[in-house]
Structure 1
Amino acid sequence: MIENLSPEQCWELLQNNNDAVLVDVRTKMEHTFIGHPPGAVLIPWKEAPDWQLNPNFAAEVEAAVPNKEAPILLLCRSGQRSLDAAKLLEQLGYKRLINILEGFEGPLDQDKHRGNLGGWRFRGLPWEQS
């Protein structure tokens, strides 16, 4: 089963469960230049310029998180790529998959800007840039 938790709930889980792993499924450019939570493991779901599914995604997650009982928190820009990634990992036998609602940047506002209505950064949680 895939859980959907708020950014705040995910941050609390990461603080209280040493087995929990936050996997950032955004692109390398998003992770580096827009920012990411401290300790996030970058494993892109899709990558520019062709935006094809990362053929190594499953193998990279299995290498980073060999324990299929460990909670895996999945983060993308707004919550869609992370949900798609969670569905794949569920098929691979991972037991505790958590989609981070709102993602890192949140939904678009009326001016088509992100970061003003929700998301990890908007919620004031720790983040950094590379």
Structure 2
Amino acid sequence: MIENLDPKQSWSLLQQNPAAVLIDVRTFIEHSFIGHPPNAVHIAWKEFPGMQLNSGFVDQVQKRVPDKNAPILLLCRSGVRSLDAAKALEANGYQHLINILQGFEGALDADKHRGNIDGWRFHDLPWQQS
């Protein structure tokens, strides 16, 4: 079963459970230049050019998180790719999956800008750029 938590709930879980792993499923460019939470493991679900599906995603997660009972939190830009990635992990036996609603940048506002309504950065949670 996949749980959905907002960014603040997700940060709280990461602080309370040292076994929890945060996986940033965004592209390399998003992770590096837009920013990411500290200690986020970067494993892209899709990658440029063309947003091709990373066929090695599950294997790459298994190498980083071999314990299929460990809590895994998945983060993308707005919460869509992370849910797809969580479904792939669930199909491969992972038990404690958390999709981070709103993602890192959040929903688009009326001016089609992200970060003004919700999301990890909007809630002023820790983040850094490479």
Q: How does 1:12-91 map to 2 (within 5 A)?
A: 12-91=12-91
How far apart, CA to CA, are the structure 1 residues paired with 2:7 and 2:83?
A: 14
**Corresponding residue for 1:100?**
100
Q: What amino acid is the match of 1:15?
A: Q
Deviations 1:80-117 (A, max 9, x none): 00000000000000000000000000000000000000
Q: Normalised by the size of structure 2, how large is the TM-score?
A: 0.99
Question: Which sections of structure 1, spanning at least 5 residues, go unmatched?
Answer: none
Between stretches 103-112 and 45-54, larger displacement belongs to: 45-54
How far apart, CA to CA, are the structure 2 residues paired with 1:14 and 1:68?
A: 17
Question: Which sections of structure 2, spanning at least 5 residues, go unmatched?
Answer: none
How much is the aligned-residue C-alpha RMSD, in angstroms? 0.4
Q: How many residues align?
A: 130
Question: Structure 1 residue runs of 4+, over 6 Å off?
Answer: none
Q: Report % sequence identity.
A: 68
- Quick check: 1:4 aligned with 2:14? no
Query: What is the DSSP-based 3-state SS (H/G/I as helix, E as strand, rest coil) of the residue aligned with 1:3?
Result: strand
Q: What amino acid is the match of 2:23?
A: V
